[in-house]
């Protein structure tokens, strides 16, 4: 027994040494993510009213995510690419399971498997670009109409499942991450324009057919007229704008945000944590955070551009663009630019699945970076 | 794989991807800049606006209503105080379905239909984000039950407050009045700054009269609240300035003794110190419990008060008008002397009936065959109508009206109470204005014995009597003696209207006084025996006014007291000690058979109480009365 343990320990040690001595990690990206995670924990500490347990829990999730990141970064992209269809099918199946198991509850987004609860829709944020890239990479690019049609189906299926959860925001973002692959694959601008125009026509139709849930329609109406019902659904937007606006240039200081402390700001540890940051750290803090995100995205795109194969490029690029979109949507939501859709601020909002999935995604990017010199 | 074989294509793909990646990044950057621009807009340009909103969110101004001033009697006994209580407040803005919420709430705290009706009325008075009182004076168990389930009612809160309490209840109800919830009309009239946070206002009596003294001025608290409006801490506090405490001229013991002396008979009594106009007692019977009104009287209680035939809500002491009957005789007699129409020794022959010269309509004496020849003193003592018929006739209604109005008849005395009535002093002008009819000489004749159109309130009568008692000086009766800013603050005397000398003839006043002493001490006096055992001389006058005028010439011999009580109103007025008057009393009974027998004993009980209340050191010197049955020689009238 001891021998086996010793062998295992020696092996783990060897692997650890190899990771350190021959890093597969892109240091600028890693440092950016670390800084982001630290900012996230700081803001969460304040937003949770100095709840150490909550911050420790989130830190644990970050560590788990980091471990996954390192692990995934060791896997060659060719292998990841080969697993992609299975990953995608698994994620779709999980969505179906959630749909079936969650029957009877208001919104079923969560899957409870004993120790961990997670949202399969978050998993899809990663599975989607991987899958579309997998489908497109052996085919002539820019994609032909036929291929676009297939990708459309591949995008629409999980997006629809998520939309019916119901989670309009995530559905749109998941779909966007697929669309980004097609965009990066070089689909002609006019075709892209046509597709978007088609969507523009479809939206009112969906509205008309009562395709949307009442609360989804309500959210959009509220977004259009936030003052209509200041204590109802307009409350979120209004209080969030008050939080951000009252923060001013320099903010009210750590733990001094009245809007979040006094519970005026709803969901202030999750979807609205950006407003807490805006209130306590002001415009300076907001711009610093946005710059941080932009840097991470730029770095990912740089890695993508230098990747050796099409799949890697498309996955890393689409993931980076989708990541940026989460930030934009969340920022737009809390400042009243966009309707309230439950989209967390990546790596800052409290929540495990999102953080772990994102870090895993960065693990894929790291792997692409580490293996760019090798023949896949 | 493909990549190796298609290297040129691969390079092309790479270049294309780089272009697309750059384009994608550019689009993202543009969108990030748009979001950043939005942050700049909110945090720089709109900062001031949102800052204000955040403060308004977080900070609530809570009004601190001032504690209402307390009311004390002349001896410092508390007549109206504030006791701590709890009420339920509702913020209508936070209620989605008011009726459903009230229904659920009523399971915990019983809400009567009255409560709900009143609450819905007050909903209109408040702005929807303000707390509207729902139920006052919660019991301890109501409070406990609500506290447990309070979380289910985010719109409802328990608010401690001070509620008015009248420890003596009915005995002081008409004098003190009561406070009640501010109604819609009052809301519009009251200064909103001064009454911010105040729920009650003086409705009647002294509470209404001195509202501006009693109210005080509100303070406020700046409170930090959370999104549920639950206060977290007080940031700043400006204390309310309590209302002034009032010290009354009323003597609680005399007031209560008077109330007791009526023993439930309908009527009123007023006692005034002739030296200064201090009202010592002012009683109306029946009365009511003012505490019922403070937090909203129930419909049932209110109906009971309204339906009571004796009208307990009517303040008879200053709003009950009764024909004064023979109590006007001393005043008229004095007028006869002052106007030079009579001398004290002049006599009039009373034969039982008096006729206006040249007319056959007869005006009767109380005794069938008259009292014979009587002078002024005897006329007052025995209440001989004929003397005053002829005097009034001689005086004429013009001079009669003018003279009597000097005593304040026919107009409010100006006491510091709201809604006093002025009664009626009959005159041709008044009759013309009221009935549009001419004046008849016969009406002058009956006015001479306080009948006809006459209406006098007990307060007016007591006030007029103080003029006789205090050498012809008229003083405005008043209840408020002094005020103070707080328990420890010194009392400050309340300024009173200056006295007015209305007659300067001590000899004439003395003659009238002799007549009034005769009423009590002469064997023929209408209240003979009343002074028995009382150490000081009492000068009095009875009055018995008919409620209905005579319809036949036949003599009605029914002497049954209960029967007479239905037909008569009984008066007794007196002051004492006759030589150093300290108290002037007017007692009116709505259903008294005779002034001497029904009303006078009440006055005597009041005098006894007054004596008991006056410490020996403060009593006037004693030329005491004679023993019963042998009146002092000075009061014996000329035969």
Segment B441-464, tens digit of pLDDT: 889 999 999 998 999 999 999 999
Q: What is the mean pLDDT of chain B?
A: 87
Residues A350, A273: contact at Cβ < 8 Å? yes
Residue-level pLDDT at B213 = 93
Ramachandran sector of residue A44 (left: φ over 0; alpha: ψ -120 to 50; beta: rest): alpha
Model pLDDT, residue B627: 42
Say if residue A230's pLDDT is above 50.
no
Is residue B34 over pLDDT 50? yes
Distance CA B401, CA B392 (A): 10
Asked if A262 and B46 come within 8 Å (Cβ–Cβ), the reply is no
H helices of B561-599, where?
561-567
pLDDT band at A115 (very low <50, low <70, confident <90, very high): low
pLDDT the model gives residue B361: 84
Is the CA virtual torsion A24, A30, A31, A32 positive or negative? positive
The answer to whether the Cβ–Cβ distance between B50 and A186 falls below 8 Å is no
Q: What angle do CA A213, A216, A220 make, to 5 degrees?
A: 145
Residue B267 · residue B589 · CB < 8 Å? yes
- Report whether pLDDT(B292) > 50: yes
For residues A194 and A196, give the distance between their C-alpha atoms in angstroms, rounded to a whole number: 5
- How high is the pLDDT of residue A375? 44
The phi, psi pair for B6, rounded to 5°, reads -110, 55
**Residues of chain B by 3-state class (helix, strand, coil), percent to 5:** 40, 20, 40
First to last CA, chain A: 39
- Evaluate whether A334 touches A46 at the Cβ level (below 8 Å): no
**How many C-beta neighbours within 10 Å does residue A115 have?**
5
Backbone CA torsion sign across B243, B247, B253, B256: negative
Tell me how far the alpha carbon of residue B465 is from its chain's centroid: 22
* Rounded-to-integer distance, Cα B609 and Cα B248, Å: 18
Query: Which of the residues B326, B383, B390, B474 is marked catalytic?
Result: B326
The model's confidence at residue A223, banded by pLDDT at 50, 70 and 90, is low
Q: Give the model's confidence band at B133: pLDDT under 50 very low, under 70 low, under 90 confident, else very high.
A: confident
pLDDT of residue B551: 57
SS3 A193: helix
CA atoms within 13 A on the CB side of B600: 24
pLDDT band at B635 (very low <50, low <70, confident <90, very high): very low
Supply the angle between the helices B47-58 and A234-247 in degrees, to the nearest 10. 120
> So what's the pLDDT on residue A144?
85
| Residues A286, B43 contacting (CB under 8 angstroms) | yes
User: Do A324 and A294 contact (CB within 8 A), yes or no?
Assistant: yes
Q: How many residues does chain A have?
A: 376
Q: What is the DSSP letter of B455?
A: B
Q: Which backbone phi and psi does A83 adopt, to 5 degrees?
A: -80, -15
* B548 pLDDT tier (thresholds 50, 70, 90): low
pLDDT, tens digit, for every residue of B344-386? 999 988 888 898 888 888 888 877 788 889 999 999 999 999 9
Exposed, middle or buried, B629 (CB in 10 Å: 0-12/13-18/19+)?
Answer: exposed
Q: Is residue A81 part of a domain?
A: yes
Distance CA B320, CA B570 (A): 13
Confidence of residue A108 (pLDDT cuts 50, 70, 90): low
Whole-angstrom CA distances from A337 to A274, A322, A331, B379, B547 are 14, 19, 8, 101, 85
Band of the pLDDT at A110, cuts 50, 70, 90?
Answer: low
pLDDT at A195 over 70: yes
- pLDDT at residue A105 is higher than 50: no
- Single out the residue of B255, B264, B260, B256 nearest to residue B312, CA to CA: B264
CB contact under 8 A, A231 and B94: yes
Chain-centre distance for alpha carbon B285: 14
Q: Is B57 at the interface with chain A, CB within 8 A?
A: yes
pLDDT tens sequence across A301-331: 999 998 888 899 999 999 999 999 999 999 9
- Looking up tokens 């909002």 gives A349
Give DSSP secondary structure letters for B113-169: HHHHHHHHHHHTTS-TTS-EEEE-S--HHHHHHHHHHGGG-TTEEEEEEEEEE-TTG
Considering CB atoms only, which of A138, A248, A301 is closest to B43? Answer: A248
The residue among B251, B286, B252 whose CA lies nearest residue B268 is: B286
Neighbours of A94 (CB within 10 A): 21
Indicate left, alpha or beta for A336 from its phi (over 0: left) and psi (-120 to 50: alpha). left
Reported confidence tier of residue B549, pLDDT bands at 50, 70, 90: low
Contacts of A229 (CB under 8 A, 6+ apart): A222, A235
- Residue whose C-alpha is closest to residue B136's, from B94, B179, B98: B179
If one counts every other C-beta atom within 10 angstroms of the C-beta of residue B40, the result is 16
Best residue in A193, A245, A306 to probe B by mutation, most B CBs within 10 Å? A245
Whole-angstrom distance, CA of residue A147 vs CA of residue B616: 120
Alpha carbon distance A208, A356 (integer Å): 38
B236-283: pLDDT as tens digits: 788 888 999 999 999 999 999 999 999 999 999 999 999 999 999 999
User: Using 50, 70 and 90 to split pLDDT, how confident is the model at B398?
Assistant: very high
At residue B631 the predicted structure's pLDDT band, cuts being 50, 70 and 90, is very low
Measure CB to CB from residue A283 to each of B13, B34, B40 and give the nearest one. B40
Residue A87's pLDDT is 93
Strands B71-72, B245-248: pairing is parallel
Q: How far apart are CA A181 and CA A131, in angstroms?
A: 9
- Is B427 among the residues known to form the active site? no
Instruction: With beta carbons less than 8 A apart as the criterion, state whether A123 and A89 touch.
Output: no
Closest chain B residue to the Cα of A281, Cα to Cα: B43
Nearest CA-CA partner of B569 in B585, B551, B557, B587: B587
pLDDT in tens, B486-524: 777 788 888 888 999 988 888 999 999 999 999 999 999
Task: Delimit the domains of chain B by residue range.
Answer: 2-45, 60-248, 252-289+316-484+494-635
Lowest mean pLDDT among A69-83, B228-242, B280-294, B541-555: B541-555
Q: Give residue B538's pLDDT.
A: 94
Mean pLDDT of B283-303: 90
Task: Quote the pLDDT of residue B629.
Answer: 43
E strand or H helix that includes residue A116: strand A116-118
From 1.10.287.110, 1.20.1260.10, 3.40.50.410, 3.40.710.10, which CATH number describes the B252-289+316-484+494-635 domain? 3.40.710.10
Sign of CA pseudo-dihedral B494, B64, B158, B189: positive
Distance, in Å, from the CA atom of B329 to the CA atom of B348, rounded to the nearest integer, reads 14
The whole-number pLDDT of residue A224 equals: 60
Q: Do A245 and B42 touch (CB under 8 A)?
A: yes
Residue A8 in domain: no
Q: Which of A138, A244, A262 sits opposite B227 (nearest CB)?
A: A262
Surface-to-core class of residue B456, CB atoms within 10 Å of its CB (0-12 exposed, 13-18 middle, 19+ buried): buried
Dist CA A247 CA B50 (whole Å): 9
Distance CA B360, CA B119 (A): 67
A76-101 tens-digit pLDDT: 888 999 999 999 999 999 888 887 77
Contact of B400 with B454, CB cutoff 8 Å: no
For residue B20, which residues of chain A lie inside 8 Å, CB to CB? 183-186, 317
CB atoms inside a 10 Å sphere around CB A182: 26
Strands (E) across B195-310 are located at 200-202, 219-225, 231-238, 245-248, 267-272, 279-285
Structure confidence at residue A41 (pLDDT) = 93
Instruction: Inspect the interface and report whether the beta carbons of A249 and B49 lie closer than 8 Å.
Output: no
Per DSSP, the three-state class of A64 is helix
Mean pLDDT of chain A: 83
Boundaries of domain holding A346: 26-370
pLDDT reading at A132 higher than 90:
yes
- Whether A121 maps to a domain, the answer reads yes
- Does B24 sit within 8 Å of A180, measured CB to CB? yes
CATH fold of B60-248, please? Penicillin-binding protein 2a (Domain 2) (3.90.1310)
Which two tokens mark B381? Answer: 């003592």
Residues of A in contact with B37 (CB under 8 A): none
Residue A340 is predicted with a pLDDT of 77
Per-residue model confidence (pLDDT) at position A111: 62
For A264-274, the pLDDT digits (tens) are: 787 888 888 99
Residue appearing with tokens 């890393």: A316
Tokens 């002491």, located at residue = B317
What is the model's pLDDT at position B421?
A: 92
Calpha distance A60→A67 (Å, rounded): 10
Of the ranges B211-215, B297-301, B557-561, the best mean pLDDT one = B211-215
Rounded to 10 degrees, what is the CA torsion of A139, A144, A147, A151? 110
pLDDT higher than threshold 80 for residue B478: yes
Give the total number of structural domains in chain A. 1
Q: Which of A198-202, B155-159, B397-401 has the highest mean predicted lDDT (pLDDT)?
A: B397-401
The rounded distance, in Å, linking the Cα atoms of B158 and B154 is 11
Residue A146 makes CB contacts below 8 A (sequence gap 6+) with: none
pLDDT exceeds cutoff 50 at B47: yes
Q: Tell me the shortest Cα–Cα distance from B141 to chain A, in angstroms.
A: 32
Query: In this predicted structure, what is the pLDDT of residue B637?
Result: 38
Cβ-count burial of A140 within 10 angstroms (0-12 exposed, 13-18 middle, 19+ buried)? exposed
- Is the pLDDT at B229 greater than 70? The verdict is no
Is the interface score ipTM higher than 0.85? yes
Q: Report the gap between the CA of B62 and the closest CA in chain A (Å).
A: 18
Determine the 3-state secondary structure of B87 from DSSP: strand
Q: Which chain B residues are Cβ-neighbours of A264 within 8 angstroms?
A: 57-58, 226-227
Q: Give the relative orientation of helices A214-224 and A234-247 as an angle to the nearest 10 degrees.
A: 40
CA nearest to A313, candidates B31, B23, B4, B20? B20
Measure CB to CB from residue B50 to each of A231, A241, A298 and give the nearest one: A241
Q: Return the pLDDT at A40.
A: 92
Pairing of strands B245-248, B179-181: unpaired
pLDDT tens digit sequence for B330-347? 999 999 999 999 999 999
| Element spanning A42, H or E | helix A27-47
């Amino acid at each position: 027994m001891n021998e086996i343990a010793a062998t295992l320990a020696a092996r783990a040690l060897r692997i650890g040494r190899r990771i350190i001595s021959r890093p597969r990690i892109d240091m600028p990206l890693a440092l950016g993510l670390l800084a982001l995670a630290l900012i996230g924990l700081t803001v969460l500490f304040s937003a949770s009213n100095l709840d150490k347990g909550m911050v420790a829990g989130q830190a644990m999730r970050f560590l788990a995510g980091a471990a996954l990141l390192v692990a995934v970064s060791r896997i060659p992209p060719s292998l990841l690419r080969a697993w992609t269809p299975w990953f995608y099918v698994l994620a779709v199946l999980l969505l179906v399971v959630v749909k079936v198991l969650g029957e009877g509850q208001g919104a079923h987004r969560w899957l409870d498997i004993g120790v961990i609860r997670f949202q399969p829709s978050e998993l899809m944020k990663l599975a989607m670009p991987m899958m579309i890239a997998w489908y497109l990479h052996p085919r002539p690019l820019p994609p032909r109409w036929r291929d676009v049609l297939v990708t459309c189906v591949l995008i629409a299926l999980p997006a629809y499942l998520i939309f019916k959860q119901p989670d309009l925001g995530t559905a749109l973002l998941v779909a966007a991450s697929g669309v980004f692959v097609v965009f990066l694959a070089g689909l002609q601008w006019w075709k892209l324009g046509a597709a978007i125009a088609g969507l523009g026509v479809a939206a009112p139709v969906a509205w008309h057919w009562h395709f949307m849930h009442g609360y989804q329609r309500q959210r959009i109406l509220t977004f259009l007229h936030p003052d209509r019902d200041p204590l109802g659904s307009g409350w979120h937007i209004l209080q969030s704008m008050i939080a951000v606006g009252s923060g001013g240039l320099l903010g009210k200081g750590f733990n001094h945000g009245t809007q979040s402390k006094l519970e005026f700001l709803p969901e202030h540890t999750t979807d609205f944590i950006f407003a807490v940051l805006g209130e306590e750290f002001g415009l300076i803090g907001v711009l610093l955070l946005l710059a941080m995100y932009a840097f991470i995205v730029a770095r990912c795109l740089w890695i993508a551009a230098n990747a050796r194969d099409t799949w890697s490029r498309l996955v890393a690029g689409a993931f980076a663009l989708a990541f940026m979109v989460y930030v934009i949507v969340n920022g737009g939501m809390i400042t009243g630019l966009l309707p309230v859709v439950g989209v967390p601020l990546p790596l800052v909002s409290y929540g495990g699945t999102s953080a772990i999935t994102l870090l895993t995604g960065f693990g894929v990017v790291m792997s692409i970076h580490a293996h760019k010199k090798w023949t896949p | 794989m493909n990549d190796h074989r298609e290297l040129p294509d691969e390079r092309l793909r790479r270049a294309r991807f780089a272009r697309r990646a750059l384009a994608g990044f550019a689009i993202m950057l543009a969108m990030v800049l748009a979001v950043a621009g939005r942050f700049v807009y909110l945090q720089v340009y709109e900062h001031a606006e949102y800052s204000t909103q955040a403060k308004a969110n977080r900070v609530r101004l809570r009004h601190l209503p001032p504690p209402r001033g307390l009311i004390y009697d002349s001896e410092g006994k508390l007549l109206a105080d504030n006791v701590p209580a709890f009420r339920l407040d509702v913020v209508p803005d936070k209620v989605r379905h008011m009726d459903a919420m009230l229904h659920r709430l009523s399971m915990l705290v019983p809400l009567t239909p009255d409560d709900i009706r009143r609450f819905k009325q007050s909903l209109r008075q408040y702005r929807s984000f303000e707390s509207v009182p729902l139920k006052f004076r919660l019991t301890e168990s109501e409070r406990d039950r609500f506290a447990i389930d309070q979380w289910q009612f985010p719109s409802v809160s328990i608010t401690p407050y001070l509620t008015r309490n009248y420890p003596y209840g009915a005995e002081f109800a008409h004098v003190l009045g009561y406070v009640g919830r501010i109604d819609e009309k009052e809301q519009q009239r009251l200064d909103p700054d001064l009454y911010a946070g105040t729920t009650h206002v003086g409705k009647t009596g002294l509470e209404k009269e001195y509202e501006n003294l009693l109210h005080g001025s509100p303070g406020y608290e700046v409170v930090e609240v959370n999104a549920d409006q639950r206060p977290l801490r007080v940031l700043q506090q400006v204390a309310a300035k309590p209302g002034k405490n009032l010290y009354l001229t009323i003597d609680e013991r005399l007031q209560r003794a008077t109330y007791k002396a009526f023993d439930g008979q309908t009527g009123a009594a007023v006692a005034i110190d002739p030296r200064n106009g201090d009202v010592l007692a002012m009683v109306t019977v029946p009365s009511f419990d003012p505490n019922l009104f403070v937090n909203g009287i129930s419909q049932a209680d209110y109906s009971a008060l309204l339906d009571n035939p004796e009208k307990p809500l009517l303040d008879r002491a200053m709003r009950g008008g009764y024909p004064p009957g023979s109590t006007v005789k001393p005043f008229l007699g004095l007028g006869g002397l002052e106007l030079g129409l009579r001398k004290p020794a002049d006599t009039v022959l009373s034969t039982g009936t008096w006729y206006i010269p040249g007319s056959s309509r007869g005006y009767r004496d109380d005794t069938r065959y008259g009292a014979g020849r009587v002078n002024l003193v005897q006329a007052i003592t025995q209440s001989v109508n004929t003397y005053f018929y002829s005097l009034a006739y001689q005086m004429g209604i013009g001079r009669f009206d003018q003279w009597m109005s000097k005593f304040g008849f026919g107009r409010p005395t100006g006491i510091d109470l709201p809604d006093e009535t002025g009664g009626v002093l009959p005159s041709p002008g008044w009759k013309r204005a009221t009935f549009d009819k001419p004046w008849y000489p016969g009406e002058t004749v009956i006015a001479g014995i306080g009948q006809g159109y006459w209406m006098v309130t007990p307060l007016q009568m007591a006030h007029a009597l103080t003029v006789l008692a205090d050498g012809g000086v008229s003083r405005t009766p008043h209840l408020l003696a002094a005020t103070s800013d707080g328990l420890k603050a010194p009392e400050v005397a309340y300024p009173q209207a200056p006295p007015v000398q209305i007659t300067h003839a001590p000899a004439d006043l003395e003659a009238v006084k002799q007549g009034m002493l005769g009423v009590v001490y002469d064997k023929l006096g209408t209240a003979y025996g009343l002074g028995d055992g009382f150490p000081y001389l009492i000068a009095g006058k009875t009055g018995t006014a008919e409620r209905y005028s005579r319809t036949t010439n036949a003599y009605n011999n029914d002497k049954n007291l209960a029967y007479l009580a239905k037909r008569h109103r009984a008066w007794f007025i007196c002051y004492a000690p006759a030589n150093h008057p300290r108290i002037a009393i007017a007692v009116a009974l709505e259903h008294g058979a005779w002034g001497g027998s029904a009303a006078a004993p009440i006055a005597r009980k009041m005098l006894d109480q007054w004596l008991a209340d006056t410490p020996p050191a403060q009593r006037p010197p004693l030329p005491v009365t004679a023993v019963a049955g042998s009146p002092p020689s000075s009061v014996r009238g000329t035969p």
